[in-house]
A and B are shown apart, each in its own frame.
Chain A
Amino acid sequence: MLVFNQLQTYLYLALALFAIGLYGVLARRSLIAMLISIELMLNAASINFMAFNRFLAPHPAVGQVIALFIMAVAAAEAAIALSIIVAVYRKLKSINVEQATELRG
Chain B
Amino acid sequence: MNFLSGLFTPQGVATIAFIMVVGVTILGALIAVLARNIFHNVLGLALSLMGVAGLFVFLNSPFLALMEILIYVGAICIAICFAVMLSEPMYLPKPPRNPLKIQGAILGAGAVFAFLALLVKQTKWVPAVERSNDWSVTTIGHYLLKDYSLIFEVVSLLLLVAMLGSIVIARGGRGSSS
User: How extensive is the interface on chain B, given as a class?
Assistant: 35 or more
Chain A residues 57-105 with CB under 8 Å of chain B are 57-62, 64-65, 67-69, 71-80, 82-87, 89-91, 94-96
A90, B178: Cα distance in complex, Å? 13
Q: Is the CB of B41 within 8 A of A33?
A: yes
Q: Is the CB of A62 within 8 A of B162?
A: no
Contacts of A30 in B (CB 8 A): 38, 88
Contacts of B82 in A (CB 8 A): 82
Give how many A residues have a beta carbon under 8 Å from the other chain's beta carbons.
73
Q: Is the CB of B87 within 8 A of A86?
A: yes
Contacts of A94 in B (CB 8 A): 88
Chain A residues 1-45 with CB under 8 Å of chain B are 2-4, 7-8, 10-13, 15-24, 26-30, 32-33, 35-37, 39-40, 43
Question: Which 8 pairs of residues, A with B, have the shortest CB-CB distance?
Answer: A26-B105, A76-B162, A27-B105, A83-B166, A24-B33, A23-B109, A19-B113, A58-B128
14 contacts between A and B (CB under 8 A): A4-B18, A10-B55, A17-B52, A22-B105, A32-B83, A39-B45, A43-B49, A59-B131, A62-B143, A69-B148, A76-B163, A85-B87, A87-B169, A91-B173
List 14 additional contacts besides A72-B155, A82-B166, A85-B87; criterion CB under 8 Å: A15-B117, A15-B120, A18-B112, A19-B113, A26-B108, A27-B33, A27-B101, A32-B38, A40-B29, A59-B132, A61-B139, A68-B67, A78-B80, A79-B163
